[in-house]
């Protein structure tokens, strides 16, 4: 097919179709066309036309996470969801909202806050947080500090409307929190990176906006001290909404912060108790630390549209293994001669940022060694909950006969690093994932090659 020659069926399916330009490339892979549907009907028609022309399709919201995951093996058509940006229904009395996938979290937040409510999703930012769309957050499974109390997108999603590869519209779930019909479809699409179909609409359960918030902060001398503080905070009856750690480099204290929310009087009382619980050095502050809710960053130029410098690695694990995982990151970094910045949640997800100037073979060595170490990580200091959100099982059995509960994924990286290391690592459920892909996208035209274990 000649680049720039838009198929007649595609131009007839959507009012806005244009040739793709350099800015439309997906993780460095050039696209041929861009379609911008403005309705569910146009979404269906676009995918039906793409199926007829056998086009490989990638979906895009604001484009803030397009460099996450592997590059697609081919990309003929980008379906941009920016015109699907309406709040379709806000039933404040029922604490639910139905939105189109192109709605930004910031716009949705303004609508909900007028009724004293919020969608408790705060995916970690990387410089373009205002532009993040609901569909993109679901597709990547991104979740930030509030995941400790409220979970990830799949936990707040109660209904979803998707368009399959052949243009068929499918709906699952409902408009009430207790409706579980078709809930697995929402779970399948959360974190699917656009490989199963187009997320067109979503229904979420909401929560009241807290009247007040406070942070209890503490500098911790080492990983064990940080893990002990996180364990004390999260296992206390003080009901923290989030518990995060951050460190810009090795050799400096780990910074910890605990978020408490509620009524003004209740937060003040609980914050004082949390400060006393954490002991000397703990302080109560009104504002979040500068690093709160942000991806860790290392010195160097940005590697992609997310603005994350260098290589960004996500480590998911049993929450009780926090100390061991922090120590594993240091051990793997030391053996590779690297010094990553780290940050993340006591709920079981950390990110490590490696400078862009690091040699690809050193980054590959770090990732490989870290996978070996994290594969054996297990609850060993008081916690027993499985990790939330994107955490998964990798590898073989862990220590003491327990199954391994950890994953190390290269979220974004310069091209030479991607060429030097498997971004996703071991995928024990690859067979099941391929079977699901075969059902939803038999021709494997949707974001081909983007997700581990799926061609």
Distances in Å between the Cα of 93 and the Cα atoms of 110, 179, 181, 202, 305 are 17, 17, 22, 18, 39
Q: Which DSSP state fits 400?
A: G
pTM: 0.87
pLDDT tens per residue across all 455 residues of the chain? 445 588 899 999 999 999 999 999 998 899 999 999 999 999 999 999 999 999 999 999 988 778 887 889 999 999 999 999 999 999 999 999 999 999 999 999 999 999 999 999 998 875 555 578 999 999 999 899 999 999 999 999 999 999 999 999 999 887 654 444 444 788 899 999 999 999 999 999 999 999 999 999 999 999 999 999 999 999 999 999 999 999 999 889 999 999 999 999 999 999 999 999 999 999 999 999 999 998 888 644 333 333 445 899 999 998 889 999 999 999 999 999 999 999 999 889 999 999 999 999 999 999 999 999 987 655 453 333 333 333 333 333 333 333 346 889 999 999 899 999 999 888 877 888 888 899 999 999 999 988 876 66
Nearest to 121 by CA among 96, 99, 149: 149
CA pair distance 261, 264, nearest whole angstrom: 8
**In this structure, are strands 406-412 and 311-317 parallel, antiparallel, or unpaired?**
antiparallel
Nearest to 57 by CA among 167, 176, 151, 204: 167
């Amino acid at each position: 097919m000649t680049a720039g020659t838009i198929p007649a069926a595609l131009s007839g399916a959507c009012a806005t179709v244009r040739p793709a330009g350099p800015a439309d490339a997906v993780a460095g892979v050039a696209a041929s066309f861009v379609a911008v549907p403005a309705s569910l009907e146009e979404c269906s028609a676009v995918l039906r036309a793409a199926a007829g022309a056998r086009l490989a399709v990638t979906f895009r919201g604001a484009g803030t996470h397009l460099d996450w995951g592997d590059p697609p093996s081919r990309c003929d058509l980008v379906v941009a969801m920016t015109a699907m940006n309406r709040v379709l229904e806000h039933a404040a009395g029922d604490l639910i909202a139905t939105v189109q996938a192109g709605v930004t979290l910031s716009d949705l937040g303004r609508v909900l806050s007028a009724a004293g409510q919020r969608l408790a999703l705060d995916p970690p930012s990387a410089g373009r947080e205002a532009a993040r769309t609901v569909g993109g957050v679901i597709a990547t499974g991104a979740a930030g500090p509030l995941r400790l109390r409220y979970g990830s997108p799949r936990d707040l999603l109660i209904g979803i409307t998707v368009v399959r590869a052949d243009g068929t519209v499918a709906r699952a779930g409902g408009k009430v929190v207790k409706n579980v019909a078709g809930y697995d479809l929402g779970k399948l699409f959360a974190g699917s990176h656009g490989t199963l179909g187009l997320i067109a609409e979503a229904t979420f359960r909401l929560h009241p906006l807290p009247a007040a918030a406070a942070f209890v902060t503490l500098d911790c001398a080492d990983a064990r001290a940080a893990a002990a503080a996180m364990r004390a905070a999260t296992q206390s009856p003080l009901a923290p909404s989030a518990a995060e750690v951050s460190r810009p480099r090795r050799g400096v204290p780990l910074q910890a912060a605990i978020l408490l929310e509620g009524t003004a009087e209740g937060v003040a009382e609980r914050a004082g108790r949390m400060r006393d619980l954490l002991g000397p050095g703990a302080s109560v502050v009104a504002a979040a630390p500068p690093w709160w809710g942000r991806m860790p960053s290392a010195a160097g130029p940005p590697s992609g549209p997310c603005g994350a410098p260098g290589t960004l690695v996500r480590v998911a694990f049993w929450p009780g293994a926090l100390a061991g995982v922090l120590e594993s990151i240091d051990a793997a970094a030391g053996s590779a001669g690297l010094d990553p910045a780290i940050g993340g949640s006591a709920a079981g997800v950390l990110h490590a940022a490696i400078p862009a100037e690091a040699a690809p073979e050193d980054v590959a060595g770090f990732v490989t060694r870290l996978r070996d170490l994290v594969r054996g990580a297990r609850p060993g200091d008081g916690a027993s909950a499985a990790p939330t959100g994107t955490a998964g099982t990798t590898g073989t059995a862990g220590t003491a006969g327990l199954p391994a509960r950890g994953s190390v994924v290269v979220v974004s990286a310069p091209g030479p690093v991607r060429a030097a290391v498997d971004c996703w690592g071991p995928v024990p459920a690859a067979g099941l994932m391929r079977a699901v892909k075969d059902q939803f996208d038999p021709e494997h035209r949707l974001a081909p090659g983007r997700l581990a274990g799926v061609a």
